[in-house]
Structure 1
Amino acid sequence: MDVFGIGADFLPPSEKRAEYSLGSMARFLERKEKRMTILVSGGAGYIGTHTCVELLQRDYKVIILDNLYNSSEKAVERIREITGKAVKFYRVDMRDKEGVERVFQENPDISALIHFAGLKAVGESVRKPMEYYGTNIGGLLNLTDVMQRHGCRNIIFSSSATVYGDPAEIPITESCPKGLCTNPYGWTKWMQEQILTDIHTAHPEWNVILLRYFNPIGAHRSGLIGEDPKGIPNNLLPYVSQVAIGRLPKIQVFGADYPTPDGSGVRDYIHVVDLARGHVHALERLKKKDGVFVCNLGTGRGYSVFEVIRAFEKACGKELPYEIKPRREGDIAVCYSSPEKALRELGWKAEFDLDAMCRDSWNWQKKNPNGYQDPKKD
């Protein structure tokens, strides 16, 4: 039995595979003309909510699958509020194969999956590797197994710049060495890329797009959706914004002795709305090219931790306290992208600068001091 639970005898003969692949693409194009239905795993999360908004505003039908581990059903309500459109929501864990099966049985018109769901904190992955491998790898295998049996073979995967590890050259292009990961989270992303590539090799009718993100920040300009991590934030911007709103006492800067101009880590921060729009461009790409397509989504510009803090101080109008802490295990000094392939192949380019990212993050935080939770009562 292969990964899909299908015996080798059921594979299409090699001489028929090209015809089979064309048939899969023909169905994809037909559904596109009929208002395509997209399943978004992790669609109640930070990047997922913003992507759902962009899809709905472009007249795609959206179905969300999310277990709400690090998200809120209120975010789904906010998507409906922003767009004025219906969104079908299933509270299902991607590791629950029966639950995933039910989603596909009840929605036979699903044309493609945009796969965001998974655990995503670098530091936590070092402490909890088994949880990360079990969730991220096991969840993908469940999803692709069910997709294969229901004839849905189009997937856009939320990968990460962590697959490049500590890059030997900057900016990072798609041809840079990969699989040099420095933490379990990065390894799960790299392994998922390999799994999807192998699935396409065995089943050429699959269309796979691997989008390697850099560092999404910002929020929708309405302030209705944004990043709302459970517990203490692992990422810089939500930590900074929670200090600015008074939920945390001071910013923790992990490492000020990196070989960078100001000693702090440098990252390619990208507005989450830009990133969401990249997925719309990727969906258009799916109908043009069979096979596996890989692309970075970043701005091509790196900002240090201290540069981000100063930009956020400008946005919120106050000085923010910080303290220097030791480097976190698994972190690297510098990481930013070459966005040239995205522009050339997807027709996509990031539009928002760092000031806009911080402005929108602050707008979200001040309108939602406790995130999606109800305001605390005195």
Structure 2
Amino acid sequence: MPSREEEAINQARQKALGFNIILVTGGSGYIGSHTVLELLVAGYAVVVIDNLSNSHWESLVRVHWIVQQDFTKRGRSPGEVPPLFFHEVDITDREAMQGVFETWKTDEPAATERKPLIKFAEEKILKKEKKIVKSVPKDIGALAVKQHFKCQEFSASSTQSQLPAERPTKIKVNDVIHFAALKSVGESVSQPLNYYRTNVGGLINLLELMKQYNVKNIVFSSSAVVYGKGKETNIREDSVQVGGGGSGGGLLTNPYGRSKWMDEEILNDTSVSDPEMQVIALRYFNPTGSHPSGLIGEDPRGTPNNIIPVVMQAFQRRRSKVYVYGSNYDTPDGTGVRDYIHVLDLARGHLAALRKLTPIKAAKDAAPPPPEDDLTSPISPTFARRLSKASVSSKSSIRGTSFSVQRTNYRCYNLGTGTGHSVLDILKAFSNVCGNDIPFVLSDARTGDLGTVTADVSKASSELGWYAEFGLQDMCRDVYQWAVDNPQGYERLRRLSMMAQVDPDAVRQIMETVEEEDEDGEAATDTGSARSSADFGNFIRRLSVMTIDDSKYKNVMRKASVAVPHLGNLLEEEEEDEENESSQGSRNGSFSWNTPFKNDQGQQLPSNPPFNTSSNLKSPFAEKWGFGGNLQPKSQVQNAH
């Protein structure tokens, strides 16, 4: 009789049967979760790996729920949504990673009997081999199916499902999208070894396991940071040298940038060594925005690395002000200019890249075998030896055969809009959306920051058929909705979930008391013992709903602090403030929410930004996704095509 773990694995595999399965590392993070959403809409089954160091598994539950609503809008049954599974695993943990690959590998035929003659030394080694423990996946779809979230109205995604004509008959991970990485420039300077261990070592673990389990396609999450200093406007992909191709990048000023560049070199080398290996690296510029439902968005743990989450937190009063680093750049208003891209555009860029990956092995199998001594054959050992000695310039020739070292099965693309916006542009756009100015101070530029960074996205447009659809106002409108609907991001659910794991019965009783006291709420339902696995799943779902109701959440926390003293350390609010980060060189001085504040133009800013969700906001983004209200025509996004 199979164990409970084996039964869970078998059930998960059966649910995935008939779907192309995509493995997504870092899939519960900001960009990862939006990409998982697009993959599900497109008809892929998804397996997510994440260690939750800078993300929340709740995002995946919300993702699956959103796709269920999307299918309903299309006239399809929510039960048709492809399965979504989650493994809480760190990519640097080779043993745990192998357990995931073992869970999702193709069923092997029965092993043939070993030959009777075997050396004693080999027998001892075999006996010492450690058994691979399969990783038990969490079925996110099962958690989401009974969920009831409050969300904004949104239109069905424009992504089209492209299921294969013949559904797969084997269970196997076919492709990998690799997001999992550390990504703070400042932190990488103080913790370089941690960044190289995670970003470089983690990728090597992944590639070795892909080779072992015969997975040949990977889309890699790279960054515009690989271009370094000296490359600023309309940056082309060949502005950095990878695999001997390109003109050579600028000076990489931090370990994070170097780790991403090293990763691309490793991926290129791997693809050269294996003609069947397909690699696409996507170099992001500045992702922002969120899903129009308001259910998923960017909620980094700790200090955000990007400007728009900082602006959002200032609006939410999770920080007192926005620090604008640098006001003397050679830009129209003196502040830094960046190429911002909506996260949904970015997610669809990954889908376009995934569809671009061609099964080289299938094409090779269909072709007649080359002569044994054919030096032009990529599978000829002689060809491989001569290739290794050949020049690594963009094109070389062996007996009349022209080839490109970097462009055979390794490709890279910029993902941006091609249009730059300054920090003050961001502040103005967000202020226009929320109806109030955002307090800020101008501070000294940070070492290594550039004045302008924008992308040339013509290659992605011509080869992937991809382009950005959303403009800056759309991005800010969407971030605003996420900020209003989730004033603490996923943080409230994280705190309640931690409390529930420490003392689930106590928290359940408190919740039911709060629900009974709520005159407008529904009567509390008995969930039985919160300690059983099935009831605990329902319990967590009720917690997630409660986080949206501000009064209920505060009531639960207040009662818990009294009734369960040992949970007190989980009730402390984490404050995001940069008061001590940049006090020197601040042109406008300090500011608190109870003090009048003026910007450089002498305009007085409000001391208490409102949380008014019923404001008559005008946004082209609202029209596209079906929001109500007085809307303007859809704006056009300029692209450098």
Does the alignment reach a TM-score above 0.5?
yes
Once the two structures are TM-superposed, the CA of residue 330 in structure 1 deviates from its matched residue by: 2.9
Picking from 473, 476, 479, the partner of 1:358 is 476
Deviation per residue, 1:342-374 (Å, 9 max, x gap) = 110000000000000000011111101111122
Aligned-partner SS, 1:268: strand
Aligned-partner SS, 2:237: coil
Once the two structures are TM-superposed, the CA of residue 184 in structure 1 deviates from its matched residue by: 1.3
d(CA) in 2 for partners of 1:79 and 1:157? 22
Tell me, yes or no, if structure 1 residue 369 matches structure 2 residue 432: no
Residue equivalent to 1:143: 206
Aligned-partner SS, 1:120: coil
d(CA) in 1 for partners of 2:268 and 2:293? 38
Picking from 456, 464, 467, the partner of 1:346 is 464
Picking from 401, 419, 424, the partner of 1:306 is 424
Larger strand proportion of the pair = 1
Read off the aligned partner of 1:228 and give its amino acid letter: D
d(CA) in 2 for partners of 1:51 and 1:330? 30
Instruction: Tell me, yes or no, if the aligned pair for 1:123 and 1:328 is still in contact at 8 Å.
Output: no
Tell me, yes or no, if structure 1 residue 225 matches structure 2 residue 296: yes
Residue equivalent to 2:245: none
1:257-296 equivalent positions in 2, closer than 5 A: 257-287=328-358, 291-296=409-414
Residue equivalent to 2:193: 130
Picking from 94, 99, 117, the partner of 1:97 is 94
Tell me, yes or no, if structure 1 residue 67 matches structure 2 residue 64: no
Residue equivalent to 1:58: 42
d(CA) in 2 for partners of 1:129 and 1:328? 19
Deviation per residue, 1:294-329 (Å, 9 max, x gap) = 111110001010101100101111111101222223
d(CA) in 2 for partners of 1:283 and 1:215? 21
- Do the aligned partners of residues 296 and 315 (structure 1) sit closer, same or farther apart at CA in structure 2, a change above 3 Å counting? same
Residue equivalent to 2:388: none
d(CA) in 2 for partners of 1:59 and 1:303? 35
Tell me, yes or no, if structure 1 residue 117 matches structure 2 residue 180: yes
Tell me, yes or no, if structure 1 residue 162 matches structure 2 residue 225: yes
Residue equivalent to 1:238: 309
The TM-score, its normalising length taken from structure 2, stands at: 0.53
Aligned-partner SS, 2:455: coil
Once the two structures are TM-superposed, the CA of residue 269 in structure 1 deviates from its matched residue by: 0.2
- Do the aligned partners of residues 284 and 48 (structure 1) sit closer, same or farther apart at CA in structure 2, a change above 3 Å counting? same
Once the two structures are TM-superposed, the CA of residue 99 in structure 1 deviates from its matched residue by: 1.0
- Do the aligned partners of residues 187 and 368 (structure 1) sit closer, same or farther apart at CA in structure 2, a change above 3 Å counting? same
Residue equivalent to 2:11: none
Residue equivalent to 1:35: 19
Residue equivalent to 1:194: 265
Once the two structures are TM-superposed, the CA of residue 72 in structure 1 deviates from its matched residue by: 0.5
Once the two structures are TM-superposed, the CA of residue 42 in structure 1 deviates from its matched residue by: 0.3
Instruction: Tell me, yes or no, if the aligned pair for 2:175 and 2:217 is still in contact at 8 Å.
Output: yes
d(CA) in 2 for partners of 1:102 and 1:179? 40
Read off the aligned partner of 1:94 and give its amino acid letter: I
Tell me, yes or no, if structure 1 residue 173 matches structure 2 residue 236: yes
Instruction: Tell me, yes or no, if the aligned pair for 2:34 and 2:344 is still in contact at 8 Å.
Output: yes
Which stretch of structure 1 is more off in the superposition, 177-186 or 51-60?
177-186
Percent identical among aligned pairs is 49
d(CA) in 2 for partners of 1:181 and 1:46? 25
Read off the aligned partner of 2:40 and give its amino acid letter: L
Tell me the C-alpha RMSD between the 2 structures.
1.5
- Which consecutive unaligned segments of at least 5 residues does structure 1 have? 1-32
Once the two structures are TM-superposed, the CA of residue 74 in structure 1 deviates from its matched residue by: 0.7
Once the two structures are TM-superposed, the CA of residue 254 in structure 1 deviates from its matched residue by: 1.1
Which stretch of structure 1 is more off in the superposition, 119-128 or 356-365?
119-128
Deviation per residue, 1:58-104 (Å, 9 max, x gap) = 10110000000000111111111111343100000000111111111
Read off the aligned partner of 1:312 and give its amino acid letter: F
Query: Aligned pair count?
Result: 346
Instruction: Tell me, yes or no, if the aligned pair for 1:182 and 1:331 is still in contact at 8 Å.
Output: no
Tell me, yes or no, if structure 1 residue 107 matches structure 2 residue 83: no
Read off the aligned partner of 2:210 and give its amino acid letter: M
Once the two structures are TM-superposed, the CA of residue 257 in structure 1 deviates from its matched residue by: 1.6
Instruction: Tell me, yes or no, if the aligned pair for 2:230 and 2:250 is still in contact at 8 Å.
Output: no
Once the two structures are TM-superposed, the CA of residue 169 in structure 1 deviates from its matched residue by: 5.4
Instruction: Tell me, yes or no, if the aligned pair for 2:232 and 2:450 is still in contact at 8 Å.
Output: no
Instruction: Tell me, yes or no, if the aligned pair for 1:179 and 1:190 is still in contact at 8 Å.
Output: no
d(CA) in 2 for partners of 1:42 and 1:158? 10
Deviation per residue, 1:118-174 (Å, 9 max, x gap) = 001112212221211111111101111111000002100000001111244520011
The TM-score, its normalising length taken from structure 1, stands at: 0.89
Residue equivalent to 1:29: none
d(CA) in 2 for partners of 1:215 and 1:122? 14
Instruction: Tell me, yes or no, if the aligned pair for 2:231 and 2:453 is still in contact at 8 Å.
Output: no
Aligned-partner SS, 1:38: strand
Residue equivalent to 1:250: 321
Read off the aligned partner of 2:175 and give its amino acid letter: A
Picking from 414, 427, 435, the partner of 1:317 is 435
d(CA) in 2 for partners of 1:105 and 1:263? 54
Read off the aligned partner of 1:151 and give its amino acid letter: N
Aligned-partner SS, 1:337: coil
Once the two structures are TM-superposed, the CA of residue 282 in structure 1 deviates from its matched residue by: 0.4
d(CA) in 2 for partners of 1:231 and 1:154? 33
Once the two structures are TM-superposed, the CA of residue 231 in structure 1 deviates from its matched residue by: 1.7
Once the two structures are TM-superposed, the CA of residue 176 in structure 1 deviates from its matched residue by: 1.4
d(CA) in 1 for partners of 2:173 and 2:231? 40
d(CA) in 1 for partners of 2:451 and 2:489? 30
Once the two structures are TM-superposed, the CA of residue 263 in structure 1 deviates from its matched residue by: 1.2
Instruction: Tell me, yes or no, if the aligned pair for 1:161 and 1:214 is still in contact at 8 Å.
Output: yes
Aligned-partner SS, 1:52: helix
Residue equivalent to 2:60: 76
Instruction: Tell me, yes or no, if the aligned pair for 1:311 and 1:358 is still in contact at 8 Å.
Output: yes
d(CA) in 2 for partners of 1:38 and 1:242? 33
Which stretch of structure 1 is more off in the superposition, 83-92 or 234-243?
83-92
Residue equivalent to 1:21: none
Once the two structures are TM-superposed, the CA of residue 179 in structure 1 deviates from its matched residue by: 5.9
Once the two structures are TM-superposed, the CA of residue 246 in structure 1 deviates from its matched residue by: 1.1
